Structure 1
Amino acid sequence: MRTQLLVLTIVISAFAGPAQAKTTADEIRDAATAFLEAFAQAQTDKGYQVAFEAGNIDPRIALAPCSEALSVEFTGDPWKSEHPSVQVACSGERPWRMFVTTTVSVSGPALVASRPFGRGERITGDMLETRSVVVNASRRGIITDAELVQGMIARRPVNAGSVLTPDLLEAPDAVTRGDHVIITARSGSFSVRTRGKALANASIGEQVLVENLGSSRTVKASVIRPGHVEVPM
């Protein structure tokens, strides 16, 4: 009788073992942490420093076992948030997915104002300096190349030490009201040029009304460079 009970117990255990196997909270957190470590290393190779931590996961959680390696990906942009979530997922026979909160701090070089400057002031090299900042603390982005901003105009006052973001700057007017400009009418490789007068201010890429000085007609043209506009033929 005891032998029969022992055999029955072994048989039950053999079937119950796989059924009770679960993906634990520790396994999910380990997968998220390994993913963050790989992200951090990739950014270190590019000159950034990354500090990170996966959020807490309820230790009571138990999901179906996964026959494949768990996949992990960001569901938020780690360059625009210090708390991007990651999705941990199983695509095995019993697929599932869950979201894990994280804390990610990406530090690296960025342009900051070396002194205060006012609205409408043209940016020059001596107004800029590079410092290490928490890049993803600003959802508006950062600027790292000083050549890209020199000559641009401040949209509003900027304090010394402020991180420069694209929304703080705008391109200067390439044409101003009353300027004489060259109008190019283009169709494929064929073009005709004439002289005109700008009727408003506009920067490169913007459209502006210009008066054709030859015909006195007013046309809408795109500013392609200072003093030059273009219209389709």
Structure 2
Amino acid sequence: MNSPLPSVRPLPRRAPASAALAVLACLAAPGVRAQAAEVPSLAEPLASQVRQLFLERVVGPASPRAEVVLGRLDPRLRLAACQKVEAYIPTGTRVWGASRAGLRCVDGPTPWNVYLPVTVHVYGPGLVAAGPLPAGHVLAQADLRQAEINLSEHRSPAVTDASAVVGRTLTAALAAGQGLREAGLKSRQWFGPGETVQVRAVGGGFAIEGTGEAMMAGMEGQPVRVKTENGKIVSGMPVGDRLVEITL
């Protein structure tokens, strides 16, 4: 994802090229050699500050491990010299996967603000394919195994409970060792329209059960309307074979 153009006040055209070098001296670690067409890396104190900002947002006592990979500043930038650069996470920024950090000059003759690409890898337990699995395959227990996966490489949640997905159908092929995601599973249809279903109302330490007629197909994860025996229309969630649950 391309970062938006930085909010930078450019130097006058007559400003010497040494001004740009001055800010890179502030941002770049001593002795760092830039590769071809690359801007030098951040000085380690500032790089550490950026990493820590993201780690504090994604890692806690019970959280999975994370790795913060810093990108490069836009080589087209021309910034005024700055004695102190402050790192921050812009409001509304996603802190998993592809992200960005803000860098702003807080001690210099000309204030400026730029954005640095950041990638945050978050690792944790998840189910992966024990072997190659084709699209349309109906999952069995032997098809899956537990492993540490990159939770942040896909927006769809990782699947961690094998018992909850056995019998589900894959919508796309999985390579051996590839993580299983909710988006890669076909929603189950628990019943069809017009079928008689069991209705269970749960709440406050009690449960009431009855029967009704499904007014639409009962798809996993999607609310469904049911006509009860007394003619009342209620809405609930399909949770099993011909079973609808209503939370009171």
TM-score by length of 2: 0.57
Partner of 2:117: 101
1:143 aligns with 2:158: yes
1:50 aligns with 2:67: yes
Q: Relative to 1, partners in 2 of residues 1:152 and 1:89: Cα closer, same or farther, differing over 3 Å?
A: farther
Partners in 1 of 2:22 and 2:105 — Cα distance? 10
Q: Is the 8 A contact 1:207 1:220 kept in 2?
A: no
Q: What amino acid is the match of 1:79?
A: W
Partners in 2 of 1:141 and 1:225 — Cα distance? 21
1:208 aligns with 2:224: yes
Matches within 5 A, 1:173-188: 173-183=189-199
Partner of 1:222: 236
Q: What amino acid is the match of 2:116?
A: V
Q: CA deviation at 1:88?
A: 1.0
Partner of 1:27: 26
Greater percentage in helix: 1
String of CA shifts for 1:124-176, please: whole Å, max 9, x gaps: 4322123454444x333451523474346235142332322221125533444
Q: Relative to 1, partners in 2 of residues 1:205 and 1:218: Cα closer, same or farther, differing over 3 Å?
A: farther
Q: Relative to 1, partners in 2 of residues 1:23 and 1:166: Cα closer, same or farther, differing over 3 Å?
A: farther
Q: Is the 8 A contact 2:87 2:101 kept in 1?
A: no
Tell which structure's C-alpha radius of gyration is larger. Answer: 1
Q: Is the 8 A contact 2:202 2:245 kept in 1?
A: no
In structure 1, the gaps of 5 or more residues are 1-19
Q: Secondary structure at the match of 1:164?
A: coil
Q: Is the 8 A contact 2:192 2:218 kept in 1?
A: yes
In structure 2, the gaps of 5 or more residues are 1-18, 28-41
* Alignment partner of 1:72 out of 69, 88, 95: 88
Q: Is the 8 A contact 2:197 2:211 kept in 1?
A: yes
Q: Is the 8 A contact 2:97 2:119 kept in 1?
A: no
Partners in 1 of 2:64 and 2:207 — Cα distance? 47
1:169 aligns with 2:168: no
* Alignment partner of 1:153 out of 143, 150, 168: 168
Q: Is the 8 A contact 1:140 1:166 kept in 2?
A: no
Partner of 1:11: none
1:88 aligns with 2:100: no
1:61 aligns with 2:93: no
Q: Secondary structure at the match of 2:96?
A: coil
TM-score by length of 1: 0.60
Q: Secondary structure at the match of 2:97?
A: coil
Q: Secondary structure at the match of 2:49?
A: helix
Identical pairs, percent: 15
Count of equivalent residues: 204
Q: Is the 8 A contact 2:171 2:186 kept in 1?
A: no
Partners in 2 of 1:36 and 1:160 — Cα distance? 35
Partners in 2 of 1:189 and 1:48 — Cα distance? 38
